[in-house]
A and B are shown apart, each in its own frame.
Chain A
């Protein structure tokens, strides 16, 4: 075998070893192929998700889905979040962006609270609740 061919094979082999063990390429290709296979197996479902309004909200935390449900059921135009909910960055940010254009306003009388906080808002009127959260009206 020519020395040049050996050199080419050596360089090619080492490049492939680095790609295999030192880059995320193989894992990335695997995920890409898996995504394509999954779509091919569930094509109808995938297409229906793509063209359905408001689809995909199941990715939100359960608490946020419940909060959204309260806002949508009672057609609330603006709301506040309780201190406890605001302290949780995930719940806070997911509520703000998923509820938009319904906005969090400091002056709103409608307050979204977690269920454990209900006793702290005894003076407010409880409008509705879900498993973990409640909507109260505080004058």
Chain B
């Protein structure tokens, strides 16, 4: 009986949590994609729409927590918005040709996405928080927010005993974890990890928008996101971070071919959410934007980024502003509460450390460690690139955003290691396995597009 009740509670937690995010997300996504909350103007597959709604809901929810600070008020306000959003989405979805939204082909993709998500339920919910950063940083922040019932100063960000926990780090996942615990009314080492599952679902949804009966998709599914384990479920943010950086580049690659606005909007939403997962999100966002610019210049296609009608609409810019608002708010709080990052990027000591490490040859250790991590991914890329070149074809354009982003991000991380105030050997040892995950993920995305193009060439 207890097992049955617990199973029902578990199902309700997952489904109501997802609906809470979906409803809020529609209030942003509906006006951008459909120009209206209730009137359908474009046919967009549900499997593309729902991950974007979830992602928008995650960002909007985080913004609400930062603005209201109180978990109770933010949940109440979010709940009201969510109900409104779900009603509008229901009208939009089921009023207009509902049978076209769920075709047999799309049902298989839905089943696949559901299966992959359910594979992660076990490690996320049944393995307690054990690992260092998970306990000392991310879910400690969640506990601070939960016990205070607030994201504000009362959470204890300035308390002298929490200096080790890097209180300046962004808190989207910790805030979500605190909300879950707040709703259930208790804390333990399992249930706050529900936040990791809510973060995973949109990425898996987007992955399955690429589903087709091909070797390339099979390899993509086999490699991604499983190869980010255990970082996706152990409470570290690195897995989730790498996941969304990779998905952003995957969607951008498809945009280059399809020129569908939803791919660009989805890619941008993935890049924006990175700002709220880790501080490296700034580097990732810049890498993504730089890769867009480089692709635009390289392909010399003037319509590549202007073709999408959404760039001419004020609602898109409003949504972009709303998406970036949490970044601004957290920045203000950090200034007000005197929370600073220990790396000291841009300060004179950090520049001196870069100079010193360049002169004493320490940079070689950095490159050696990086190569050891990305060797396998580079090998695959090299093999596929060689096989592609042997066909006398020009490079698969869709792979370029991911490969450019991987290179720029990797260079950015080289600079971070050059300026670290910690012992370089120690810092590399404890972090390089995690910090190179975004680079590896993007190389896999680039390899997927090359393999996909190769498959099409050889099949023709």
Using a CB–CB distance below 8 Å, which chain A residues touch chain B? 4, 7-8, 11-12, 14-15, 18-19, 22-25, 28-29, 31-32, 35-36, 38-39, 43-44, 46-57, 59, 89, 92-94, 96-98, 100-101, 103-106
- Give 22 CB contacts A-B under 8 Å: A14-B383, A15-B219, A22-B375, A24-B227, A28-B230, A32-B226, A35-B126, A35-B127, A36-B119, A39-B121, A39-B126, A46-B126, A47-B3, A48-B2, A50-B190, A53-B187, A55-B190, A57-B189, A59-B130, A93-B165, A96-B161, A97-B165
| Nearest Cβ on chain B to A102's Cβ, whole angstroms | 10
Give chain B residues whose Cβ lies under 8 Å from the Cβ of A18.
376, 379-380, 383
Using a CB–CB distance below 8 Å, which chain B residues touch chain A? 2-3, 6-7, 9-10, 119-123, 125-130, 132, 135-136, 140, 143-144, 147-148, 156, 159-162, 164-165, 184, 186-191, 215, 219, 222-223, 226-230, 375-377, 379-380, 383-384, 387, 451, 454-455, 458-459
User: Cβ of B222 and Cβ of A96 under 8 Å apart?
Assistant: no
| Nearest Cβ on chain A to B289's Cβ, whole angstroms | 29
| Nearest Cβ on chain A to B53's Cβ, whole angstroms | 27
Give chain A residues whose Cβ lies under 8 Å from the Cβ of B186.
53-54
| Neighbour of B147 across the interface among A11, A43, A98, A100, CB < 8 A | A100
Q: Within the assembled complex, what's the spacing in Å between the Cα atoms of A91 and B187?
A: 21
Give chain B residues whose Cβ lies under 8 Å from the Cβ of A54.
186-188
Total number of residue pairs linking A and B with CB closer than 8 Å: 155
Given A49-B188, A57-B189, do A31 and B229 touch, yes or no (CB 8 Å)?
yes
Q: Within the assembled complex, what's the spacing in Å between the Cα atoms of A55 and B6?
A: 15
The CB with the most chain B CB atoms within 10 A, among A4, A14, A28, A98, is that of A28
User: Cβ of A96 and Cβ of B227 under 8 Å apart?
Assistant: no
- Which residue of chain B has the shortest Cβ distance to A52 in the bound complex? B188
Given A7-B458, A14-B383, do A103 and B161 touch, yes or no (CB 8 Å)?
yes
Give chain A residues whose Cβ lies under 8 Å from the Cβ of B227.
23-25, 28
| Nearest Cβ on chain B to A109's Cβ, whole angstroms | 17
| Nearest Cβ on chain A to B258's Cβ, whole angstroms | 25
User: Cβ of B189 and Cβ of A46 under 8 Å apart?
Assistant: no
User: Cβ of A32 and Cβ of B379 under 8 Å apart?
Assistant: no
User: Cβ of A38 and Cβ of B122 under 8 Å apart?
Assistant: yes
- Which residue of chain B has the shortest Cβ distance to A6 in the bound complex? B458
Given A19-B222, A25-B222, A28-B229, do A49 and B9 touch, yes or no (CB 8 Å)?
no
Q: Which 5 A-B pairs have the closest CB atoms?
A: A56-B189, A22-B376, A56-B128, A53-B186, A47-B6
Q: Within the assembled complex, what's the spacing in Å between the Cα atoms of A106 and B376?
A: 50
- Which residue of chain A has the shortest Cβ distance to B381 in the bound complex? A18
User: Cβ of A103 and Cβ of B383 under 8 Å apart?
Assistant: no
